[in-house]
């Protein structure tokens, strides 16, 4: 591919020397080719030596990459300017064997085991196309491909597959019984190809991202003449857009195609063989129980062999114990006897029956496997535990154990037994038989008692007295001493922490320690630990309330020994209360303040209260001590504060309460401010108590000279009477004051006038004088019309104030004084004129006991002339029955310009001479009244009509008619003609109501009828029933359980158990934002936490029930180490890091912070070591691929929670 016209122009701001300028092209091809363009070979100079242009070409011959980026730089005086880089992108394709392309067939060889038939042998195109979309996603080579399989190329009749056929619509013979091609053909243009059969040219259409071609199946019968090594060749030809197919099936252009070949070939069956040896490398078939047997595979042949080892528990091979697919396994037998071992070997890469087997036996001794039985003598049953906890002090417990021989297998004449018992020091204290021998008969049982703390070992040995192979079983009895719990504490006052110190001691026997310390700070007979105090040995604990408590300490050792100590009388004395109030906080000297102790009633026992005062010195001193036992103690404390200075003095007062246990508390201080204070004086200038002093009286007051001499900053005058303050006036610095005193009462009224002279310090002095003001009587009176007829009006006059010295009335009609009566009340008659209206003026003046006259009171009364009115009407019919309720009214009054007012007796009124017929809403007897008025001349007329009632008409509505129980229904009463207080509802479920429009709730599911009854005023009762109008649906009940309560994420799922009933669908909310509608879903959490799970159950009626379980599950992340048991290294060389393809041995880890791995061969030689959790063993040692074998690993990790873990095991290296 050629790149042309890579044209580059560089511009400078100032002229340059053309001989110093060049442009460098780097083509970025495999040879790192470059081109330098200067003045001598094509550099173009312009714009006054400020522009330099070059153009260069380059041809790429090999498609190493699908995209190339040639670059250009400006070169100045031989130096490349890196910031001047210019790039071009070029894409080009090639044949499918260049770049990333690779033409392949799979399998490379179709292997058939000797003397087996060839069955449907096929090859598929396994090529990777040049510049595919994964390699070059920008401009991929997705053009169409052409692929052809050609069968029987390069044929050798003497070493081929006989009678081979191909299926293409029908059977097509390829070779005959002598191995020759049946119908050889030759095709091709420049490069001819001869073969038995030419398959079709397959087209891989656009987009051609992957191959699709598969060869035609080939078959041949089993034939002993097809010797091992014979083969039949199949060739695959590939064309793409860069080496295109010429389009001719008869003569393709094979010379342009990319070629690969595969073979159908005959392979030999494996020949299995093996031998056994011990750990010392000695070849033998005699082994001890549990001794490692090293099996050495001697199988011959070639191919991808698969091995199956079968280890049997008997010589006949009937009881299979275990199998292995290792090439050279290591195995040990747990029991004695003659054991059969079978090795099956199969060629996995060959078609047909390519399997063979071989068997050998090994002899395992002794025939008996030692086993100790532990019996509890008290129950004659199995011993529950071999770990016992002894009391730290007497009385001690004896722990009895019975030891029996329960060895398995079959004893022979050469089987020997031996028992050994060791004390806590490891010394042998009992043996059977004695002298270190072995007994050929069964020994025991042995009853032993253990009391003293220590570790006691018991050993049973079984030996074959000929091979000297032994088996042992050892049991250990451990007697631990319980810890001796103890702790100390102190007595405190409330608010002070109690100090606890764990004084527990332990005498360990196996370096055991105390692993659990738990405290119950409020022990009530049931141990309930405080988790914040776990494993605390010394701490302060603050109780929030006073009282006496019991504290329990529970300790557990690493051996599981547990003991609890409860101590009573942990006392927290109450802290007393110390609060008080003051009735004043400031004032002028001498200031008396009453203090009230508000904490006299409290739970604490008070020894004394101390009143402490700071007089400004900064130190509180005890001013008084009060004890509740003092006679007359009431919590009151009174103190006078004196200020003889010219400035303010501040006193701070506080109260200290002290209990009989010495606990005290101090109140917040209260500040008392004491000011200096003056005197005051004044006189009245124009008031004498010997005058009449009838209200109102204006009095002038003046401040005396002595008070004025103190230069007060303000004069404040306060006027008051028996009811309290009436007025408050500040005259500033003016020493005079005038006030009008009024007495609106009818008694003598005494006033006080107080002068307050206020100094600049705000302290003041007061003085007071009295003023007496006589009352002025009231002339108020009322008048009322006693009688008002069209002829005469009688007025009643009544003075409001009674008992006065004199009442002087004057009555004037139309300007003429008609009468001057006396007395506090009277009746006065006035004859109405028939021609004019009469204006009546009434005046009253009164005099009281103090000779004080009242001001006159006057009222005007207008009496209109006599108009002459007569009211009458008719009302028909007089009686009728509902629903007839209309009455016709006819006015028969004397005519005139009067005002008419109708009252129909049912709250309805009307005006006007004539009114329309009136209809009554309900039954009853009604009085109709007509009032005819001409101003004050009034005449009335009444008629009575009766409307008889009808029975009630009942009906009602309801909403809703149906729903889930409990169902609340609103009933609306639409009845007529019923007494509102007579309604009775029956809701059909036993519920009733007397409300007009009731609301009722149905709690049980069902269909209900509703009855309404009512009466009218005459007692007539009517019923209405609406049948089966309300339906309350049955609701479901939601219940569930989940497990486990604690699970490890993200691997462990949460399981649900749906215990709901009456439901058909469900909605789960797992508390992490995830939901499910399955009946019993499984759920995996991804985050740590504690989650609340909610289940909503629904039934077909749409009813639902919801249940939530708080803290239903806790999720945690734990460290994890997963180790594979085999891997297959990359055979092309060391350095592979491909863990995903199993080319590197590296465990899968989670939450690991530290890592170390060692790999050894079976002889203990270290082959690999790594502390990098991302670096594993690639199967190489010193640059050489290790042989297929079993290797040993040791891995030590530390998780993010600080815990360490070590794991060892085997890893199979496969090749």
Mean per-residue pLDDT of the chain:
91
Residue 614 has pLDDT above 70, yes or no: yes
Q: What is the pLDDT of residues 757-783, one digit of tens each?
A: 888 777 877 889 999 999 999 899 999
Alpha carbons within 13 A on the beta-carbon side of 546: 16
Q: Give the pLDDT confidence score for residue 253 in this predicted structure.
A: 95
For residues 63-80, average pLDDT: 84
Residue 1154: closest CA among 1116, 1195, 1118: 1195
Looking at the DSSP bridge assignments, the partners of residue 670 are 653
Q: What is the pLDDT of residues 351-373, one digit of tens each?
A: 888 888 999 999 999 989 999 99
CATH node for 274-365: 2.60.40.10
Using a pLDDT cut of 70, give the percent of the chain over it.
98
Q: How confident is the model at residue 219 (pLDDT cuts 50, 70, 90)?
A: very high
- Judging by DSSP bridges, how do beta strands 286-288 and 470-481 pair with one another? unpaired
- The Cα–Cα gap between 212 and 762 comes to 112
Q: Which of 92-106, 948-962, 1067-1081 has the lowest mean pLDDT?
A: 92-106
What is the assigned CATH class of domain 580-675?
Answer: mainly beta
For residues 916-941, average pLDDT: 88
The alpha carbon dihedral of 57, 63, 66, 72 has a sign of negative
Q: How confident is the model at residue 475 (pLDDT cuts 50, 70, 90)?
A: very high
For the range 987-991, what are the long-range contacts, defined as Cβ-Cβ under 8 Å and sequence gap of 24 or more? 987/1030, 988/1030
- The Cα–Cα gap between 197 and 83 comes to 62
For residues 131-149, average pLDDT: 85
Residue 2 has pLDDT above 60, yes or no: no
- The Cα–Cα gap between 886 and 700 comes to 79
Q: Give the pLDDT confidence score for residue 61 in this predicted structure.
A: 67
Q: Give the pLDDT confidence score for residue 1151 in this predicted structure.
A: 82
Q: ∠931-937-942 over CA atoms, to 5°?
A: 25
First-to-last alpha carbon distance for the chain, in angstroms, is 43
Q: What is the pLDDT of residues 957-976, one digit of tens each?
A: 999 999 998 999 999 999 98
Q: What is the pLDDT of residues 1089-1133, one digit of tens each?
A: 999 999 999 999 889 999 999 999 999 877 788 899 999 999 889
Residue 559: closest CA among 501, 482, 666: 482
What is the assigned CATH class of domain 368-481?
Answer: mainly beta
Do residues 160 and 114 lie in contact, with contact meaning Cβ atoms separated by under 8 Å? Answer: no
Fold: same for 274-365 and 956-1033:
yes
- Phi first, then psi, for residue 334 (nearest 5°) are -85, -10
Alpha carbons within 13 A on the beta-carbon side of 255: 6
Following CA atoms 1071, 1076, 1078, 1082 in sequence, which dihedral angle do they give, to the nearest 10 degrees?
-60
- The Cα–Cα gap between 918 and 889 comes to 8
Q: What is the pLDDT of residues 427-444, one digit of tens each?
A: 999 999 998 899 999 999
Q: Give the pLDDT confidence score for residue 1167 in this predicted structure.
A: 94
What is the assigned CATH class of domain 1120-1213?
Answer: mainly beta
What is the assigned CATH class of domain 487-572?
Answer: mainly beta
Tell me the DSSP string of 478-499: EEEEPPB--EE---EETTSPEE
Q: What is the pLDDT of residues 371-399, one digit of tens each?
A: 999 999 999 999 999 999 999 999 999 99
Do residues 11 and 50 lie in contact, with contact meaning Cβ atoms separated by under 8 Å? Answer: yes
Residue 873 has pLDDT above 50, yes or no: yes
- Report whether CATH 2.60.40.10 matches the domain 956-1033: yes
Q: Which of 194-208, 763-777, 795-809, 1084-1098 has the lowest mean pLDDT?
A: 763-777
Do residues 605 and 599 lie in contact, with contact meaning Cβ atoms separated by under 8 Å? Answer: no
Do residues 726 and 719 lie in contact, with contact meaning Cβ atoms separated by under 8 Å? Answer: yes
Residue 555: closest CA among 573, 575, 529: 529
Q: How confident is the model at residue 634 (pLDDT cuts 50, 70, 90)?
A: very high
For residues 28-57, average pLDDT: 89
Residue 3 has pLDDT above 60, yes or no: no
Q: Give the pLDDT confidence score for residue 62 in this predicted structure.
A: 66
Residue 4 has pLDDT above 60, yes or no: no
Q: What is the pLDDT of residues 272-329, one digit of tens each?
A: 999 999 999 999 999 999 999 999 999 987 678 999 999 999 999 999 999 999 999 9
Q: How confident is the model at residue 936 (pLDDT cuts 50, 70, 90)?
A: low
What is the H or E stretch that residue 887 is in? Answer: strand 886-891
Token pair recorded at residue 1054: 């949460």
What is the assigned CATH class of domain 873-948?
Answer: mainly beta
Q: Give the pLDDT confidence score for residue 643 in this predicted structure.
A: 81
Q: Give the pLDDT confidence score for residue 755 in this predicted structure.
A: 93
Residue 823's Cβ-count burial label (10 Å; 0-12, 13-18, 19+) is: exposed
Looking at the DSSP bridge assignments, the partners of residue 361 are 340
For residues 486-493, average pLDDT: 94
Q: Give the pLDDT confidence score for residue 590 in this predicted structure.
A: 83
Scanning 690-836, the segments in alpha helix (DSSP H) are 705-708
Q: Give the pLDDT confidence score for residue 1076 in this predicted structure.
A: 96
Domain 1040-1116 fold: Immunoglobulin-like (2.60.40)
Q: What is the pLDDT of residues 495-531, one digit of tens each?
A: 899 999 999 999 999 889 999 999 999 999 999 999 9
Q: What is the pLDDT of residues 538-597, one digit of tens each?
A: 999 999 998 999 999 999 999 999 999 999 999 999 889 999 999 999 988 888 999 999
Residues of 394-411 as b/e, b for ≥16 C-beta within 10 angstroms?
eeeeebebbbbbebebeb
Residue 1 has pLDDT above 50, yes or no: no
Which residues lie below 8 Å from residue 285, measured CB to CB, with a gap of 6+? 276, 360, 361, 362, 363
- The Cα–Cα gap between 687 and 310 comes to 141
Tell me how long the chain is: 1215
The alpha carbon dihedral of 465, 466, 468, 472 has a sign of negative
CATH node for 682-773: 2.60.40
The residues spanned by each domain of the chain are: 2-91, 105-267, 274-365, 368-481, 487-572, 580-675, 682-773, 782-838+845-862, 873-948, 956-1033, 1040-1116, 1120-1213
Q: Give the pLDDT confidence score for residue 1119 in this predicted structure.
A: 79
What is the assigned CATH class of domain 2-91?
Answer: mainly beta
Residue 269 has pLDDT above 90, yes or no: no
Q: What is the CB neighbour count within 10 angstroms for residue 40?
A: 8
Could you give the 3-state DSSP secondary structure of residue 415? strand
């Amino acid at each position: 591919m050629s790149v042309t016209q890579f044209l580059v122009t560089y511009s400078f701001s100032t002229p340059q020397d053309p001989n110093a300028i060049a442009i460098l092209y780097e083509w970025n091809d495999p040879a790192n080719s470059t081109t330098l363009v200067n003045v001598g070979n094509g550099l173009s100079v312009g714009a006054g030596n400020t522009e330099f242009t070059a153009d260069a070409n380059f041809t790429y011959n090999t498609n190493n990459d699908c995209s190339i980026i040639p670059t250009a730089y400006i070169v100045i005086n031989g130096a490349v300017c890196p910031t001047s880089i210019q790039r071009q992108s070029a894409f080009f394709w090639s044949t499918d064997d260049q770049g990333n392309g690779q033409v392949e067939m799979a399998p490379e060889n179709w292997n058939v085991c000797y003397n087996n038939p060839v069955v449907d042998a096929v090859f598929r195109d396994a090529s990777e196309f040049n510049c595919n979309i994964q390699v070059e996603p920008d401009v991929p080579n997705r053009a169409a491909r052409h692929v052809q399989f050609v069968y029987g190329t390069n044929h050798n009749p003497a070493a081929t597959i006989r009678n081979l056929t191909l299926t293409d619509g029908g059977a097509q013979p390829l070779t005959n019984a002598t191995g020759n091609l049946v119908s050889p053909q030759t095709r091709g243009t420049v490069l001819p190809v001869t073969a038995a059969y030419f398959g079709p040219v397959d087209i891989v259409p656009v987009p051609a991202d992957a191959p699709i071609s598969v060869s035609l199946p080939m078959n041949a019968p089993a034939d002993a003449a097809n010797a091992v090594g014979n083969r039949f060749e199949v060739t695959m030809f590939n064309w793409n857009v860069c080496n295109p197919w010429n389009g001719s099936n008869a003569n393709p252009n094979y010379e342009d195609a990319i070629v690969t070949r595969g073979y159908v070939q005959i392979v030999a069956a494996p020949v299995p063989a093996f031998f056994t040896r011990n750990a010392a490398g000695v070849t033998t078939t005699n082994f001890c129980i549990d001794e490692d047997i090293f099996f050495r595979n001697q199988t011959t042949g070639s191919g991808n062999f698969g091995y199956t080892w079968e280890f049997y528990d008997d010589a006949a091979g009937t009881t299979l114990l275990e199998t292995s697919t290792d090439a050279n396994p290591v195995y040990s037998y747990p029991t004695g006897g003659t054991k059969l071992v079978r090795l099956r070997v199969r060629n996995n890469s060959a078609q047909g029956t390519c399997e063979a087997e071989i068997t050998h036996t090994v002899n395992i001794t002794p025939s008996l496997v030692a086993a100790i039985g532990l019996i509890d003598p008290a129950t004659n049953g199995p011993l529950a535990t071999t770990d016992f906890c002894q009391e730290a002090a007497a009385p001690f417990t004896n722990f009895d154990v019975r030891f029996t021989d329960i060895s398995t297998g079959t004893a022979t004449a050469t089987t020997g037994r031996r028992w050994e018992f060791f004390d806590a020091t490891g010394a042998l204290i009992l043996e059977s038989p004695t002298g270190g021998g072995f007994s050929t008969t069964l020994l025991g049982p042995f009853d032993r008692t253990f009391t003293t703390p220590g570790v006691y070992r018991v050993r049973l040995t079984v030996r074959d007295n000929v091979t000297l192979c032994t088996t042992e079983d050892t049991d250990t009895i451990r007697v631990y001493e319980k810890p001796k719990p103890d702790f100390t504490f102190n007595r405190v006052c409330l608010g002070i922490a109690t100090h606890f110190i764990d004084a527990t001691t332990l005498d360990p026997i196996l370096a055991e320690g105390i692993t659990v310390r738990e405290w119950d700070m409020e022990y009530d007979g049931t141990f309930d630990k405080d988790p914040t105090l776990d494993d605390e040995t010394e701490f302060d604990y603050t109780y929030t309330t006073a009282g006496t408590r019991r504290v329990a300490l529970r300790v557990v050792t690493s051996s599981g020994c547990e003991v609890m100590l409860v101590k009573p009388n942990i006392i927290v004395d109450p802290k007393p209360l110390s609060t008080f109030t003051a009735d004043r906080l400031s004032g002028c000297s001498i200031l008396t303040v009453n203090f009230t102790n508000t904490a006299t009633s409290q739970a604490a026992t008070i020894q004394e209260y101390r009143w402490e005062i700071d007089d400004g010195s900064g130190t509180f001193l005890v001013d008084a001590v009060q004890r509740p036992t003092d006679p007359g103690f009431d919590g009151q404390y009174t103190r006078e504060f004196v200020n003889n200075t010219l400035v303010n003095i501040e006193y701070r007062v506080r109260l200290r309460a002290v209990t009989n246990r010495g606990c005290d508390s101090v109140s917040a201080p209260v500040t008392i401010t004491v000011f200096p204070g003056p005197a005051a004086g004044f006189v009245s200038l124009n008031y004498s108590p010997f005058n009449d002093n009838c209200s109102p009286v204006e009095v002038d007051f003046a401040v005396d000279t002595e008070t004025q001499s103190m230069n007060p900053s303000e004069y404040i005058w306060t006027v008051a009477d028996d009811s309290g303050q009436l007025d408050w006036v500040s005259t500033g610095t003016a020493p005079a004051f005038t006030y009008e005193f009024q007495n609106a009462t009818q008694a003598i009224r005494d006033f006080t006038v107080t002068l307050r002279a206020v100094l600049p310090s705000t302290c003041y002095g007061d003085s007071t004088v009295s003023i007496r003001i006589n009352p002025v009587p009231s002339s108020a009176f009322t008048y009322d019309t006693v009688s008002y007829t069209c002829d005469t009006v009688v007025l009643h006059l009544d003075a409001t104030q009674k008992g006065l010295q004199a009442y002087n009335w004057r009555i004037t009609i139309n300007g003429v004084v008609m009468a001057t009566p006396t007395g506090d009340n009277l009746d006065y008659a006035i004859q109405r004129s028939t021609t004019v209206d009469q204006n009546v003026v009434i005046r009253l003046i009164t005099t009281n006991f103090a000779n004080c006259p009242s001001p006159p009171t006057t009222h005007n009364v207008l009496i209109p002339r006599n108009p002459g009115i007569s009211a009458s009407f008719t009302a028909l019919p007089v009686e009728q029955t509902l629903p007839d309720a209309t009455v016709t009214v006819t006015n028969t009054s004397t005519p005139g310009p009067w005002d008419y007012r109708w009252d129909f007796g049912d709250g309805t009124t009307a005006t006007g001479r004539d009114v329309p017929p009136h209809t009554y809403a309900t039954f009853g007897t009604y009085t109709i009244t007509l009032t005819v008025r001409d101003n004050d001349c009034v005449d009335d007329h009444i008629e009575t009509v009766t409307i008889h009632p009808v029975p009630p008409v009942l009906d009602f509505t309801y909403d809703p008619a149906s729903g889930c129980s409990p169902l609340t229904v609103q009933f609306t009463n639409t009845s007529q003609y019923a007494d509102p207080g007579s309604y009775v509802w029956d809701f059909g479920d036993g519920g009733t109501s007397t409300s007009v429009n009731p609301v009722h709730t149905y709690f049980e599911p069902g269909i209900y009828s509703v009855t309404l009854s009512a009466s009218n005023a005459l007692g007539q009762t009517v019923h209405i029933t609406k049948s089966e109008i309300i339906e309350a649906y049955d609701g479901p009940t939601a219940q569930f359980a989940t497990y486990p309560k604690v699970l490890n994420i993200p691997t462990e799922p949460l399981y649900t158990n749906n215990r709901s009933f009456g439901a058909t669908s469900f909605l789960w909310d797992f508390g992490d934002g995830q939901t499910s509608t399955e009946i019993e879903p499984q759920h995996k959490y991804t985050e740590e936490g504690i989650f609340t799970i909610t289940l909503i159950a629904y039934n077909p009626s749409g009813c639902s029930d919801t249940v939530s379980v708080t803290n239903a599950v806790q999720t945690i992340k734990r460290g994890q180490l997963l180790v594979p048991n085999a891997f297959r290294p990359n055979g092309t060389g060391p350095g592979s890091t491909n863990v995903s393809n199993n080319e590197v041995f590296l465990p899968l880890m989670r939450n690991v912070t530290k890592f170390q791995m060692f790999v050894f061969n079976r002889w203990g030689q270290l082959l690999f070591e790594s502390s990098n959790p991302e670096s594993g063993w690639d199967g190489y040692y010193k640059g050489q691929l290790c042989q297929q074998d079993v290797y040993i690993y040791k891995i030590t990790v530390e998780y993010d929670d600080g815990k360490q873990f070590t794991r060892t095991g085997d890893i199979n290296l496969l090749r």
